Amino acid sequence: MQIQNQFNPSLNLVVQPGDRETHLALYQLGFQKVAALPQLLYRAVSEFELSALFVGLCQRVSEIGQAMSRYVLTRSPLDAQHLLHEFLKAQPLHQMTKLVKHAWFFQVLAKQQLFFNYQPIFDLDSRRVVAHECLARARNAQGQQFNGQQLIDAALSMNLTREFDNLARSICLTALAEWNQSDRPIFFINVLPNAIAHNPESLEQNFQQILDLGLHPGQIVFELTEVEALTHHPNLHKVIHQIRANGFGLALDDLGSNVALDHYCTELRPDVIKLDRRIVHGCSRYEMKQVMVKSFVQAAQELEITVLAEGLETLEDIEFCRSIGVNLGQGFGLGMPGQTPIGATPEKVVC
């Protein structure tokens, strides 16, 4: 006797669209109404089709639509009783699309696929290279490359800033040790403040790693990005003290955008402040930008803090910043990022 399966064996993705645009996008992706509950749309899928389908949802449904819509994956019959029970566990659609969107990031972390480019930092008076900023990059198994902002955005979105930041610092330090640096050049390494605030012990691990690699703490300037997230953290003073005690330099990024000079400089006492490219670019032509840059420089001079201008792309902007007392500069008008620091040579192994 043949036994009839009481349940629909196929896997169904059932979505409750949050707005009309999402409703239309789902139709375009092959969804159809659930007969018992017309406000729900479904599509039968195999496990192998799910990833591609969620990629399609990422591309066609707006972020607002993803946040307003809910979904379930079910093998239960598509009747009112079962679906109403299933939707008690429904999740916002963006939770799954976010995972699919940043699937490459998990691969980067798991396989440690980070590498670094080095952008030269110039003394504006002497026009000599005095440091480099280490710029994180990643390349997956398919050869697709990701820049630093994409990496940070993915880390923040997936709540993996600590894992990303720790890995990036470790790989960066190892990379720096591969170059023969007899004159101990300085390197700026970007740090996500929340990562070190929640895990101050990682700084001690970096300190020991630097010593083991034959580097010197004075060569490293930790550049705090997304700094506004750190100021109210209970570990703030402990973290800053550790950086100072271990002999590292401290820089604050993006002054003039989301970082306020008066509060952050008095609270953190950095060695270097970096003026955001949005106020630096075109500063030779726009009076408002000139006023802002001059005010930052004057305040920094009174606090004995070095000023670095980012985003210098024209001779006019470079000359204006130099003329008003900006100490350091970086940007395409001075030097492009490269795979090796300027003047560096690979360390030779002596047999």
The mean pLDDT of 17-46, rounded to a whole number, is 93
Kindly indicate the confidence band of residue 47, based on its pLDDT and cuts at 50, 70 and 90: low
What is the per-residue pLDDT for 5?
40
DSSP tag of 187: E
The mean pLDDT of 21-45, rounded to a whole number, is 93
More confident residue, 144 or 307: 307
What is the per-residue pLDDT for 226?
66
Assess contact for 334 and 120: CB atoms under 8 A.
yes
Mean pLDDT of the chain: 86
Q: Give this prediction's pTM.
A: 0.77
The mean pLDDT of 140-159, rounded to a whole number, is 86
How many Å apart are CA 35 and CA 242, to the nearest integer?
Answer: 63
> Given a cut of 50, is residue 208 above it in pLDDT?
yes
What is the per-residue pLDDT for 262?
58
DSSP tag of 347: P
pLDDT in tens, 58-93: 889 998 999 999 999 888 889 999 999 889 889 898
What is the per-residue pLDDT for 322?
97
Kindly indicate the confidence band of residue 255, based on its pLDDT and cuts at 50, 70 and 90: confident
Nearest partner of 136 among 119, 122, 121, 120, judged by Cα = 119
Contacts of 210 (CB under 8 A, 6+ apart): 173, 216, 217, 220
